[in-house]
A and B are shown apart, each in its own frame.
Chain A
Amino acid sequence: GNSVTQMEGPVTLSEEAFLTINCTYTATGYPSLFWYVQYPGEGLQLLLKATKADDKGSNKGFEATYRKETTSFHLEKGSVQVSDSAVYFCALSESQGGSEKLVFGKGTKLTVNP
């Protein structure tokens, strides 16, 4: 079946450092790819998405490019802030019998120190 593998955390950075969170996937067909962010005690918020190969999703300084040849969707940010501290989930969409479901990675916890 389809699966998503994220780099294990936790990740701890200083403010203004460069961030990369790796995400690779296994899927049949051409799924859409997503990054969601979860702040403490809250639900998930969509951070960015890409729907086809070579698409780049971007939002709030975060970027990720859909790489079909390496089956990857790595999340990057050039300069992190304390407010970026959260858990980040990579996910792909899969369609079964007309229904679409999300398959999630296990999440990567990011802590940014001032």
Chain B
Amino acid sequence: DGGITQSPKYLFRKEGQNVTLSCEQNLNHDAMYWYRQDPGQGLRLIYYSQIVNDFQKGDIAEGYSVSREKKESFPLTVTSAQKNPTAFYLCASRDPWRGNQPQHFGDGTRLSIL
């Protein structure tokens, strides 16, 4: 079955460390997205990519970085510059070339600070 795989499910970071969250999709979608979810705040867009080798900042990109070297992969790095990284991170993908298509989500990675 096609879908989006996020790993790991739980991740712990020490102060001052960078960590990378994995997102892989086999839906053949060109567009991919990273969201951060905090309790009571809904989802906020971190970065998005419409196509390989291209990505754009979302609403809360500071302290994060991404790459899009392959169509199926869109890893997110949480850098030490992100002062409050504890959150639930969700990756999504979408086919941007067919009208009115929804975003499909992975099961998320929960990041905590040790």
B31 at the A/B interface (Cβ < 8 Å)? yes
Instruction: Give the docked Cα–Cα distance between A105 and B40 (Å).
Output: 10
CB < 8 Å: which of B42, B96, B104 contacts A100? B96
Mask, B9-29, CB within 8 Å of A = 1, is 000000000000000000000
What residues of B have a CB within 8 angstroms of the CB of A93 in the complex? Answer: 100
What residues of A have a CB within 8 angstroms of the CB of B50 in the complex? Answer: 98-99
Instruction: Give the docked Cα–Cα distance between A50 and B64 (Å).
Output: 33
Instruction: Give the docked Cα–Cα distance between A45 and B106 (Å).
Output: 9
Chain A binding surface, main DSSP class: strand
Asked if B100 and A43 sit within 8 Å, CB to CB, the answer is: no
What residues of B have a CB within 8 angstroms of the CB of A49 in the complex? Answer: 100, 102
B48 at the A/B interface (Cβ < 8 Å)? yes
Total number of B residues with any Cβ neighbor in A under 8 Å: 26
What residues of B have a CB within 8 angstroms of the CB of A32 in the complex? Answer: 100
Asked if A89 and B100 sit within 8 Å, CB to CB, the answer is: no
Instruction: Give the docked Cα–Cα distance between A34 and B100 (Å).
Output: 10
Asked if A106 and B41 sit within 8 Å, CB to CB, the answer is: yes
Mask, B74-109, CB within 8 Å of A = 1, is 000000000000000010101010011011111110
Classify chain A: how many residues form its interface, as a range.
20 to 34
Instruction: Give the docked Cα–Cα distance between A43 and B56 (Å).
Output: 22
B113 at the A/B interface (Cβ < 8 Å)? no
Asked if B43 and A104 sit within 8 Å, CB to CB, the answer is: yes
Instruction: Give the docked Cα–Cα distance between A110 and B19 (Å).
Output: 33
Mask, A94-106, CB within 8 Å of B = 1, is 0000111110111
B: residues with CB less than 8 A from A are 4, 6, 31, 33, 40-43, 45, 48, 50, 56, 58, 90, 92, 94, 96, 99-100, 102-108
List 30 interface pairs A-B (beta carbons < 8 Å), by A numbering: A32-B100, A34-B102, A41-B107, A41-B108, A42-B107, A42-B108, A43-B4, A43-B105, A43-B106, A43-B107, A44-B92, A46-B103, A49-B100, A49-B102, A51-B99, A99-B48, A99-B96, A100-B94, A100-B96, A101-B33, A101-B45, A101-B48, A101-B58, A102-B33, A102-B103, A104-B42, A104-B43, A105-B42, A106-B42, A107-B40
